[in-house]
Amino acid sequence: MVASLRLAALARGQREVWAGVALVAAAACGGDAAAVRLVPVGAGPCGRPADARSLLVTPLGDFRAERRPIGLDAPVALADLPAATRQLAVEIIGEGGRVLAHGKTAPFDFEALADGDPVTVAMAPPDDVCAAGSMSTARDHPLAAAVGGGVLIAGGYAPLPLATAEWFDPATNSFRDVPLPAGFGGVRGLAGAALLPLPDGTVVLVGGPSPGFAIYDHGQGFRDAVLVSQVRAHSAAVVLDATTVMLLGGCGTLSDAGTCEPGSARADSRIINLAGGSITAGPALAAERLDGQAFVEVGVDGRRTVVVVGGVDGAGAAVTTAERVDLVTGAVTVFAAAGAAAARTDAGTIVTGFAADGEVARGETVALVPGIDVGRPLPTLAPRAGALLTTQEDGLVLAIGGGPPLRFLPASSTWTTVTAPGMPALDGGHAAILLDDGSVFVVGGRVSAAPQAAAWRFRPRLLGRFTGSLTVVPGDDESDPPLSPLDPSLVIPTPPWRLRGTTGGPSYAIVGGPLGGPLRVEVTARVPVAGIGLVLGHVGPADRHQVLLVPGIEASLERRVAGGAATTCRGGVVPAAGLHTITLDVRAGTARVAMGGQVVLTCDVEPLPPGRVGVSALGVGEVEVVTIAVTR
């Protein structure tokens, strides 16, 4: 069971919260301050553990967070919560201060909540799972996409292809059937299709046995299908923009079992216009590839490419290379020793490794860095097949399936085993989706070769976009600092933690967790002669702000968009190289930078995008980072 934190508003803007002990909260009403009333309910490790001693509730938003201790045995009023509260974090504390269970609400707007509106919190032991209900149908290899605050699940095998869909509601840990549009069905089900989230919050079902696509709108269900001129199944599918998707590789003919017919594998690509259904030819791949995974990559120069990993060739042999396809020139770069599972880090780098479900297990892992044409080797692990990679809210990468859960720490390029007693022994074939509350939703797949209907929610730490404060100590090898470097080969992780600069491209590391808004960044670092940079508003390698601090040179703030750089403003001369504490304050349209208490830059800035902050090495210098503190 996953206990809910139900938010039911009371009179005068007060909301009631049950924590997992469940929580229920309330919005501000008129001029009243927002308030929450807590009513303890539930029992067990996924609710209120038997040895619980106290409860902590933390309002989160664009302000400094304050943990509030709450009694467990009676309703308690939490008055005067900030009206700007966007999330509530809940921790259940046991003997010795140990966190027994924790969770967060999904982001919400207090002002938009009406009296009686429920807001839920899924509680679970740290780094463990709790059950999240069961689908109406067991599904091996289901399609899944986040939409409408929940997850749309469709297709899969049990063992023959399925032509059904359902939607997971995180508030109730329940599923409801979703009718498929006409034309998506038959004996081949949805074999080889893809579900892709679109920028407007809808999802497109595309590819597979049906020569067409259909848009799913959570408020309306599936719209009528749009026919296209050809069948393309088991492709690597990716959204290029609001109106186009790209299918790479795949095949054009399916058996009744949903597999590609011999000789039908493809090495070309097709681009589908969702506005009308027209199809145009895209760039070719270097080789046939079925069931790959694709990512749009924007390089530091603004160049858009598509990276494809995983899959098998027409003979069923694993494809152990990755390909980067230039969308303009069609040029292809091939990377060796790539895996079948992949996820993008906060910095924009793709981590890939292991073998796909049903393949011979592999343990190689590699990082594909935007703009770099050679993969960066990562540690080789015990071979496994069937893992899926998901990037957590804190920037670490979680691997689930094919063995005990693993976690990749980008700051040190290391993998660690996650002890999760509740995690089922999934052979593979499952789906894993990051939910709005920061939990990872795991559904379907196989246990002991049997398709599963069950779902689980894995709960990592509560570090996320509205975290009020965070201190990173990258040189501490006992911690897991949420730092993601763009290029792991430029990091020297052994204490002291250092980031090397290069003349061949940018070198930076992004702090996982907090996003955008008014904030203060304090960096203690040894600044080289070549200088140090502070990154803010990071959306991707080609979309970020950067404060440039080069000793003996005027400080400056530059804005990078689509590969171009423009200096926003300049300041005073930067102090000499050495150990410095640097502060960056972004408040009310102004960015202010000081070194050792001396202001070196004050700039008017437009509202920043909801990006991340970080630190960079300039030129060929080597920046030794002692600490990075981020505060709302």
Please check whether residue 513 lies inside any domain of the structure: yes
519-543, pLDDT tens digit by residue?
899 999 999 999 999 999 999 999 9
Q: 371 pLDDT exceeds 80?
A: yes
Examine the fold and report which residue of 112, 146, 169 is the final residue of a domain before the chain moves on.
Answer: 112
Q: Show the tokens assigned to 456.
A: 């689980």
Burial of 604 (C-beta count, 10 Å sphere; 0-12/13-18/19+): exposed
The pLDDT confidence band at residue 37, using thresholds 50, 70 and 90, is low
Asked whether 431 and 503 are in contact (CB, 8 A), the reply is no
Position 71 scores a pLDDT of 74
413-451, pLDDT tens digit by residue?
999 999 999 999 999 999 999 999 999 999 999 999 999
Please check whether residue 626 lies inside any domain of the structure: yes
The pLDDT confidence band at residue 290, using thresholds 50, 70 and 90, is very high
Residue pointed to by tokens 């469709």: 154
Q: Which residue has the higher pLDDT, 55 or 308?
A: 308
Please check whether residue 423 lies inside any domain of the structure: no
Q: For residue 491, give every residue at least 6 positions away whose Cβ sits within 8 Å of its Cβ, in sequence order, or none.
A: 411, 412, 413, 485, 497, 498, 499, 500, 509
Q: Show the tokens assigned to 335.
A: 């990377």
Q: Show the tokens assigned to 116.
A: 């009686």
Across the chain, what does the average pLDDT equal?
89
C-alpha 525/C-alpha 103 separation (Å) is: 34
Position 76 scores a pLDDT of 63
Q: Show the tokens assigned to 580.
A: 């410095």
Please check whether residue 16 lies inside any domain of the structure: yes
573-628, pLDDT tens digit by residue?
999 999 999 999 998 789 999 998 899 999 988 877 789 999 999 999 899 999 99
In the chain, what is the greatest distance between 2 CA atoms, to the nearest angstrom? 72
Position 117 scores a pLDDT of 67
Q: For residue 61, give every residue at least 6 positions away whose Cβ sits within 8 Å of its Cβ, in sequence order, or none.
A: 82, 84, 85, 86, 87, 466, 632
How many CB atoms lie under 10 A from the CB of residue 15? Answer: 30
Is the bond leading into 159 cis (omega within 30 degrees of zero)?
Answer: yes
Instruction: Characterize the bridge pairing of strands 450-451 and 454-459.
Output: unpaired
Please check whether residue 565 lies inside any domain of the structure: yes
DSSP bridge pairs for 142: none
Using alpha carbons, list the distances in angstroms from residue 138 to 11, 95, 145. Answer: 44, 40, 17
240-283, pLDDT tens digit by residue?
999 999 999 999 999 999 999 999 999 999 999 999 899 999 99
Position 38 scores a pLDDT of 54
Q: For residue 220, give every residue at least 6 positions away whose Cβ sits within 8 Å of its Cβ, in sequence order, or none.
A: none
- pTM of the predicted protein model: 0.94
3-state SS of 588-603?
CCEEEEEECCEEEEEE
Position 229 scores a pLDDT of 83
Q: Show the tokens assigned to 488.
A: 């792991």
Please check whether residue 444 lies inside any domain of the structure: no
90-129, pLDDT tens digit by residue?
899 999 999 999 999 999 887 787 766 667 788 899 999 9
Please check whether residue 17 lies inside any domain of the structure: yes
3-state SS of 492-514?
ECCCCCEEECCCCCCEEEEECCC
Q: 30 pLDDT exceeds 50?
A: no
Mean pLDDT within 4-13: 30
170-214, pLDDT tens digit by residue?
988 999 999 999 989 889 999 999 999 999 999 999 999 999 999
Instruction: Tell me the Cα Rg of the chain.
Output: 25
Position 75 scores a pLDDT of 60
C-alpha 40/C-alpha 192 separation (Å) is: 46
The pLDDT confidence band at residue 20, using thresholds 50, 70 and 90, is very low
C-alpha 578/C-alpha 527 separation (Å) is: 5
543-576, pLDDT tens digit by residue?
999 999 999 999 999 998 887 889 999 999 999 9
Q: What is the length of the chain?
A: 632
Examine the fold and report which residue of 79, 112, 145 is the final residue of a domain before the chain moves on.
Answer: 112
The pLDDT confidence band at residue 315, using thresholds 50, 70 and 90, is very high
Examine the fold and report which residue of 66, 94, 112 is the final residue of a domain before the chain moves on.
Answer: 112
Q: Show the tokens assigned to 470.
A: 């965070």
Position 8 scores a pLDDT of 30
- In 3-state terms, what secondary structure has residue 316? coil
DSSP bridge pairs for 378: 365
The CATH number assigned to the domain holding 19 equals: 2.60.40
Domain of 18, in residue numbers: 7-112
Residue pointed to by tokens 């960044």: 521
Is the bond leading into 496 cis (omega within 30 degrees of zero)?
Answer: yes
The pLDDT confidence band at residue 35, using thresholds 50, 70 and 90, is low
Q: How many domains does the chain have?
A: 2
Please check whether residue 286 lies inside any domain of the structure: no
User: What is the phi/psi pair of residue 511, to 5°?
Assistant: -80, 125
Burial of 252 (C-beta count, 10 Å sphere; 0-12/13-18/19+): middle
Instruction: Characterize the bridge pairing of strands 174-178 and 397-400.
Output: unpaired
The CATH number assigned to the domain holding 573 equals: 2.60.120.560
Cα-Cα-Cα-Cα dihedral sign, residues 411, 414, 415, 417: negative
Position 3 scores a pLDDT of 35
